Structure 1
Amino acid sequence: MLEAIGLTEAEQATYLALLEQSPATVAQIRECVPGPAVPTALVALEAKGLVSRLSGRPVRYQPAPPDVALEVLVRSAERELQQVRLTAKNLMERYHSRRVATRPEEIVEVVTSSEAVFQRCEQVQRAAVEQVRIFDRPPYIAGGLTNDVEKEALARGIRYRTVYDTAGLDLPGRLAVAQEFAAQGEEVRVAGGVPVKMFIADDSLGLISLERPATSDSALVIHSSSLLDTLIALFEAIWGTAVPVRFDEPSAGQPAQATGQPRTVSDRQLLSLLAAGLTDEAIGRHLGWHPRTVQRHLRDIMADLGAQTRFQAGLQAGRRGWL
């Protein structure tokens, strides 16, 4: 509980025992904290300002008020953490200065286990200062539908841009995950045939899946180089042609407010997901509709647009600003 401010288990137990029963002698404390560690813990606690001795014999100890004593230790720990951050920054400057002339074999690292890939994926995202670019495509590791590091980074103001593969969004639950991230600030687009799983932090560090077809068992970590620049250019090219997806909350029967818009919020979202290339089944799962309901709504929309095919419906919806 108090390890973060430098207290050992014995010190914590001794201090808590004194909070329950004070003042107390060493023998009385040992009734609550068995073992030989109490005298040593008391010496350490006294040095940290958490206990004090009372005059008289036998020697008795009393705890310092937690709100004051622990706050001093918390501030001390914060100062130490700040010093660690400064040291890390200095070490990175030394690291980069040494690597001005990077050898070709140092540009790429090979990671060969799913655990290591997961760890390096988190490290790449945590290295971002401004933005993270992502290509998202299946297969996904078990329990890999969420990304806690992204949630933390979005909360800090890191920009996330993700291109989802349509094959991935067809899988149960994946579209809901994309919607959740979009609600937290992720910029979402969809494309067919996303070539590789990829994470790029700023313009300095990237991770791509190694195998074809993509797996989560091996990956390449790419450091700043012309190779990374090429991957960034690939992302930007696909991002530019990918389809933005609307994630308005579906509300069947809710009328659109603007003249000339689709009849309901759900219809607008249906058109957006359809333009992104999702199947009727995937759209239906997301909206809570049967695929036949999706088809019925689409027929009605096509009639409103005067379109004979889905492709024409997409063109007409785009021209009218519905997408």
Structure 2
Amino acid sequence: MPSTARFAGLGLGTVEEEIYLRLLGVPAADAEWLATRLHLRVVSVVAALTALSDQGLVEGSGDGNWAAVPPDVALEELLLRREVELRRARGRIGELMRTYRQGRPGTEAGELVEVISGRESIAELWRTLQLGARERLRILDRPPYVRRADPQTELSLLARGVSARVVYHSGVLRDPEQLAGIRTFTAAGEQARVHPELPLKLALLDDRYALLPVTAGTELQSVLLIRPSTLLDALAGLFELYWSHAMRLPAVPEETPEDRHRQLLTLLAAGLTDESIGRQLGVSTRTVQRLVRELMDRFGARTRFQAGIQAARADLL
């Protein structure tokens, strides 16, 4: 019997799901008929029908037949019940955390900061935190860069309306593969900026959790999970400070002079050399220098710094 798992999120098992789907296609059927069609034991079918009846998905009659309740009614009611159960479970998180902490004696600081070790444990924690994010995700991302282990989770987060703001180290502009990956997320709604100096890697989820590496190694071997505290507030303030000073991620090069100048200014502000800017724009170093001169002439500036100030005033940055 194939496993469809279409309604796993509603708490239905594979047998229950198959029986409900089979009953949708017929006016009614008894347990023996269903057992024969699905290659199951009758006792298993009866148990599944009873469970489906308890959830309001099927109705039994006096002659031993069962009929599916229309899905627009049955599934809507089941969804509402599941939502109520989830809200109740969320409300018990505080109580469960108190029990968890009582079983692990330690200082108050130890309760607010937890060390998670092992790449698999860290990956699972990161995925769980993203799935639980409700409003916003904020990230400082600096080298060494690591490949996104589960990009679909981040894309799903954006798709359900969670705000994502990420400040990348400007070095990412020199890495075409990394930059292409970032473009995928900005196309899905991520707001991205670049900064030439970031002190650490940091992820903030809502105002509930912060995640940062224990050390700045090439691989994440251990991370700190920080819960609501003055430390979490300080890390949130650190992010906002760097976000306010970061430059917008340069757009894909355009042909208009205005767009080309805007991108050039962003790359200059990110601290890239003329050679690196040339690679990013797909032009020679001499062309970059010519574009810089055009900007300086446009704003009547003697230096690049003055041109940047005038561009900011003109809202080009």
Which TM class, normalised by the smaller chain length?
0.7 to 0.9
CA separation of 1:320/1:124 partners in 2, compared to 1, >3 Å: closer, same or farther?
Answer: same
Q: Give yes or no for contact 1:171–1:282 (8 Å, CA) kept in 2.
A: no
Which one of 267, 278, 285 corresponds to residue 261 of structure 2?
267
Q: Give yes or no for contact 2:31–2:46 (8 Å, CA) kept in 1.
A: yes
Which is further off, 293-302 or 162-171?
293-302
Q: What is the CA distance between 1:198 and its match in structure 2?
A: 0.4
CA separation of 1:172/1:49 partners in 2, compared to 1, >3 Å: closer, same or farther?
Answer: closer
CA distance in 2, matches of 1:308, 1:108: 51
CA separation of 1:217/1:84 partners in 2, compared to 1, >3 Å: closer, same or farther?
Answer: same
1:162 aligns with 2:166: yes
Which one of 293, 311, 314 corresponds to residue 317 of structure 1?
311
Q: What is the CA distance between 1:269 and its match in structure 2?
A: 1.7
Q: Which runs of 5+ in 2 are unaligned?
A: 1-5
- Where 1:11 maps in the other structure, the secondary structure is helix
1:38 aligns with 2:32: no
Alignment-derived partner of residue 231 in structure 1: 235
Q: What is the CA distance between 1:210 and its match in structure 2?
A: 1.6
Q: What is the CA distance between 1:209 and its match in structure 2?
A: 1.4
The amino acid of 2:263's aligned partner reads Q
Alignment-derived partner of residue 147 in structure 2: 142
Q: What is the CA distance between 1:247 and its match in structure 2?
A: 4.5
CA distance in 1, matches of 2:29, 2:233: 67
Q: What is the CA distance between 1:275 and its match in structure 2?
A: 1.4
Q: What is the CA distance between 1:136 and its match in structure 2?
A: 0.9
Q: Give yes or no for contact 1:107–1:224 (8 Å, CA) kept in 2.
A: yes
The amino acid of 2:121's aligned partner reads A
CA separation of 1:246/1:72 partners in 2, compared to 1, >3 Å: closer, same or farther?
Answer: same
The amino acid of 1:135's aligned partner reads L
Q: What is the CA distance between 1:283 and its match in structure 2?
A: 4.5
The amino acid of 1:190's aligned partner reads V
- Where 2:38 maps in the other structure, the secondary structure is coil
Give per-residue Cα distances to partners, 1:90-122, cap 9 Å, x unaligned. 4426747998x9623223211222222233334
Give per-residue Cα distances to partners, 1:217-253, cap 9 Å, x unaligned. 321122334443443443344344x33226556430x
- Where 1:31 maps in the other structure, the secondary structure is helix
The amino acid of 1:251's aligned partner reads E
Structure with more of its chain in helix, by fraction: 2
CA distance in 1, matches of 2:33, 2:211: 58
CA separation of 1:148/1:247 partners in 2, compared to 1, >3 Å: closer, same or farther?
Answer: farther
Larger radius of gyration: 1
CA separation of 1:171/1:203 partners in 2, compared to 1, >3 Å: closer, same or farther?
Answer: same
CA distance in 2, matches of 1:235, 1:15: 50
1:278 aligns with 2:240: no
CA separation of 1:168/1:118 partners in 2, compared to 1, >3 Å: closer, same or farther?
Answer: farther
CA distance in 1, matches of 2:183, 2:203: 19
The amino acid of 2:86's aligned partner reads V
CA distance in 2, matches of 1:96, 1:86: 17
Alignment-derived partner of residue 60 in structure 2: 52
Alignment-derived partner of residue 245 in structure 1: 248
Q: Give yes or no for contact 1:140–1:216 (8 Å, CA) kept in 2.
A: no
Give per-residue Cα distances to partners, 1:254-296, cap 9 Å, x unaligned. 3xxxxxxxx3312212222221223556655655x24445455
Alignment-derived partner of residue 157 in structure 2: 152
Normalised by the size of structure 1, how large is the TM-score? 0.73
CA distance in 2, matches of 1:106, 1:223: 8
Q: Give yes or no for contact 1:125–1:150 (8 Å, CA) kept in 2.
A: no
- Where 1:264 maps in the other structure, the secondary structure is helix
Give per-residue Cα distances to partners, 1:115-150, cap 9 Å, x unaligned. 222333345556666544321112233345947447
Alignment-derived partner of residue 83 in structure 2: 81
CA distance in 2, matches of 1:19, 1:107: 50
